[in-house]
Amino acid sequence: MDPRSRTSNGMAVAKQTCRKWARLEKGYPYSYGVNNPIGNIDFMGLAVTTYSCSPSQTANILAAAGKAEAAAKTCIPCEDREDFKKHIRNLLVFCSKHNESLEGESICGEQTGDWDITLTPQGIDESSGCGCLQSTILHEVLHQIGYGHSGAKNAFAMEKKCFKCSGL
């Protein structure tokens, strides 16, 4: 690994992690982080890793994840903050090429696992009523820590509380 990545800015590191993720498509799904955790760390202390994202998408995602983490420190319930922080700091983001879910619905993003989310082109570029990217990321990470779409732990309600730009 290029030793300059230790001191390079977030953008350079983001490009590198993005490239590294191309390996996923070749069948090494769990090699990230373990082999080279330094490569995943960006300037905000987050270890967000992107997969199949363009460099500009990755830059937007890292910035938005930083905003989501910062907001969550005060806007989500205290008992959920530690868990949220753990998840957002180790987040894996897959950039899909389509705006539809597998079920054919138009979506901004989707929680796809305990540590990973998928973001669609419209979610990342904040079009089609998706609201701001930090709000979409917050929403999907809240799903990872047990939030649903109704009741006391409602990801939509929390998005609205945390971000005026949520579009909700």
The span of 16-24, 75-83, 87-95, 151-159 binding Zn ion (CB under 5 A) equals: 151-159
The span of 26-34, 38-46, 124-132, 155-163 binding Zn ion (CB under 5 A) equals: 155-163
Round to the nearest angstrom and report the end-to-end CA distance of the chain.
Answer: 43
Q: Which residues contact 112 (CB under 8 A, 6 or more apart)?
A: 94, 118
The gap from C-alpha 51 to its chain's centroid, in whole angstroms, comes to 11
Euclidean distance between CA atoms 55 and 118, whole angstroms: 16
Radius of gyration, CA atoms only, the chain:
15
Map tokens 């070749």 to a residue: 26
Nearest approach in angstroms of CB 85 to Zn ion is 20
Print the binding letters for residues 98-137 with Zn ion: x by CB under 5 A, - otherwise.
----------------------------------------
Cβ atoms 39, 16 nearer than 8 A: yes
Cβ atoms 14, 58 nearer than 8 A: yes
Nearest approach in angstroms of CB 101 to Zn ion is 11
Nearer to Zn ion among residue 40 and residue 120 (C-beta) = 120
Nearer to Zn ion among residue 46 and residue 155 (C-beta) = 155
Cβ atoms 144, 80 nearer than 8 A: no
Could you give the 3-state DSSP secondary structure of residue 112?
coil
The span of 32-40, 63-71, 98-106, 150-158 binding Zn ion (CB under 5 A) equals: 150-158
Nearest approach in angstroms of CB 38 to Zn ion is 32
Nearest approach in angstroms of CB 158 to Zn ion is 10
The span of 75-83, 113-121, 126-134, 152-160 binding Zn ion (CB under 5 A) equals: 152-160
In which element (H, E) is residue 89 found? helix 78-89
Nearer to Zn ion among residue 5 and residue 101 (C-beta) = 101
Which stretches of the chain bind Zn ion, using CB under 5 A? 155
